[in-house]
Each structure stands twice: as structure tokens, then as C-alpha cells.
Amino acid sequence: MSRRPPSIDGLAASTLQLPPGAWTTVLDCLCARFPAVPRAQWIERMARGRVLDDAGTPVAPDTGYRVGVEIHYYREVAQEPTIPFDEGVVHADAHVLVADKPHFLPVTPAGPHVHETLLARLIRRTGNPALTPLHRIDRDTAGLVLFSTNPDSRARYQALFRERRIEKSYEAIAPPLPDLAFPYTHASRVVAGEPFFRMQEMPGPANSETRIDVIARQEGRWHYALTPVTGRKHQLRVHMAALGAPIANDPIYPAARHRAAGDYSAPLQLLARTLRFIDPLDGTERNFSSDFHLRT
């Protein structure tokens, strides 16, 4: 019977169900499916018990290949850099945890970031491998992220997002928009763009909407309040750039620009400031606010 492998150092295992193929060993299949990982590295992971079968038994380099078997493995990145900013925990109880994420820290493992993610840090910090983020914010964005701490109640909180019963507000620093009357609502059609990591506005029925207001006006820089009505990828960044006021230090919009690895000198001036919702378990009003601040 398959069982969920334990988290190691805050990192859950990834799973591959072995597909049809002519491989003799599991190792041969892994090398073919993940050519970026050297064969010697897979062998080294196996020696440390970082590759398991569906019974939780460590896989050896000579373990025979069987179609359909689930193989669990732990992602690793050689010399993964430490992100030198600390997360906070605004609230934690038996069902949810509200984290305060710093700029530059990914929420979940992706690309070169495995252990240095908000999820992995929080699992190590709390000892709770059941932690699951209920939504995402960009690596470049700071602020609040809501986690489920209990699988038994998780679906009730996930429904808050699916049914748009949770209110999220953001703050941003961007150039002035003196020709707009505020509060202003921007709606547009946002679709995948080029390169693959960018989004773009296109003609057609709107699928995204953001309410925009001004908190403070300074020479050349305004402090905005942004309320997303919908939740498209990069929505706030795309909308502000489309209006002619790209968010300060945005490395992607209106045009992608290179940022050297380890350069933390210019964080995106976008902050997930508040989360508000009626708790689906007891009906109480929940209202949380980030402790981070933008460079105004």
C-alpha cells in the first residue's frame, strides 16, 4: 500500500509514476526523464535514502523497473543560496497560519529554490508537514500568505478563494497617474505572453479587474492601494504597467530586464497588506495585516 513519504528538512517529496518504457532499472528511467540531473547525482541521492518506492523502501541503483510503481524523490539544488530575509508569522491556530513573506522568497519550491522557500521554512519552523499554502503571491512581492495547517478543514478555507469570499488588499509605489479619477477600476483581458513567464493584455472580454486608489502623493511617486477583484497571474503588475505606471523596481513589466543572482538592492514595491474573511468554521471575522512596509 502506498504511503506518503515524510518531509525532509521542510521539503515534501515529489512523485513519479513509472511510465511504460524499456528501461531495466528505476535509475535508468530517472536519468531519461530528468536529463538535467547527472546520473552520479541520482546515485548519490539513493545512497542517502532520498529516492523511495511506494512502500517507503529506499530505491537502489540496481532496483528493477516496474511500470506503474510510484517513485518518491526529494528535489535538491547544488549550492542553493540563502535568501537573507526573514519571514514572520502573524497568526497561527489549529486550522490556519498567516505568514508574512519578505521580498525575494518564493512561496513554494520552483527552479533553483527548494529549501529556501516560505513553505519549507515554515515546515521546519512549526514541525507541521501538513502545511499547505491556500494561495500564492509572486516571489518578488512581500506580504501575507494564508496556509492551511489541518487537512481536515482545508477544503473549507480553499472555498473562500474559489467563491471569492476573501478580500485581499495590496499597496504599491508607482509613478503618478494625474489624469485618472480615483477610485478607479481597471478591467482587461490578461493572457499568457512572451517570454513564458510574462502576462499581457489583449483585446477581448475582460477576465481581470483591479480597484485602484491613492493613499499618498509624492513628487514623482504615488503610494497606491490595489484591490484585486480577480486573481490572474501578475494581474496588479500588468494593470499598473498598462496604465503607464509600472510598479517601482518591477523586473518584468513593462519590459523584462536582467537582475543578477543575489542582487537584493531593489525589491519590487508591491506588498500584500491585508487579508479579510469570515471564518468558515465559527463565523468570526478575521482581519490580518502585514508588518512589512514599502519604501515610500
The answer, yes or no, to whether the previous bond of 183 is cis (omega within 30 of 0) is yes
Q: Could you tell me how far CA 90 lies from the centroid of its own chain?
A: 18
Dist. CA 230–CA 249, nearest whole Å: 24
pLDDT-based confidence at 74, cuts 50/70/90?
confident
Query: Does residue 23 share a domain with residue 155?
Result: no
186 in the same domain as 45: no
Residue 119 and residue 183 in one domain: yes
Q: Which residue from 232, 175, 226 is spatially nearest to 201, judged by alpha carbons?
A: 232
Q: What is the CATH number of the domain that holds 25?
A: 3.10.290.10
The count of other CB atoms within 10 Å of the CB of residue 270 is 28
Same domain, 250 and 220: yes
Q: How far, in Å, CA of 69 to CA of 26, rounded? A: 10
pLDDT band at 1; cut points 50, 70, 90: very low
Domain holding 167, by residue range, is 88-289
Same-domain pairing of 152 and 59 = no
**133 and 230 share one domain:** yes
CA 184 to CA 245: how far, in whole Å? 14
Please give the tally of structural domains in the chain. 2
Residue 214 lies in a domain: yes
Whether 78 is covered by a domain: the verdict is no
Question: What are 179-216's pLDDT values in tens digits?
Answer: 999 999 999 999 999 888 899 999 999 999 999 999 99
Range of lowest pLDDT (44-48, 146-150, 228-232, 233-237): 44-48
Whether the CB-CB separation of 285 and 141 falls below 8 Å is answered with no
Is the N-terminal amide bond of 195 cis, ω within 30° of 0? Answer: yes
Residue 226 belongs to a domain with what CATH number? Answer: 3.30.2350.10
- Asked, for residue 81, whether it belongs to a domain, the answer is no
C-alpha cell read off for 1: 500500500
Q: Report d(CA 81, CA 249) in Å as an integer.
A: 22
Number of C-beta neighbours around residue 9 at 10 A: 10
Say whether the peptide bond before residue 254 is cis (omega within 30 degrees of 0). Answer: yes
Smallest Cα–Cα separation from 95: which of 135, 132, 138?
Answer: 132
> What is the predicted pLDDT for the residue at 258?
85
Residue 4 lies in a domain: no
Predicted pLDDT of residue 234? 97
**60 pLDDT higher than 90:** yes
Nearest Cα neighbor of 161 from 91, 209, 239, 229 is: 229
Portion of the chain with pLDDT greater than 70, in percent? 97
* DSSP 8-state class, residue 102: P
How would DSSP label each residue in 58-77?
A: BPPTTPBP-TT-EEEE----
User: Are 55 and 172 in the same domain?
Assistant: no
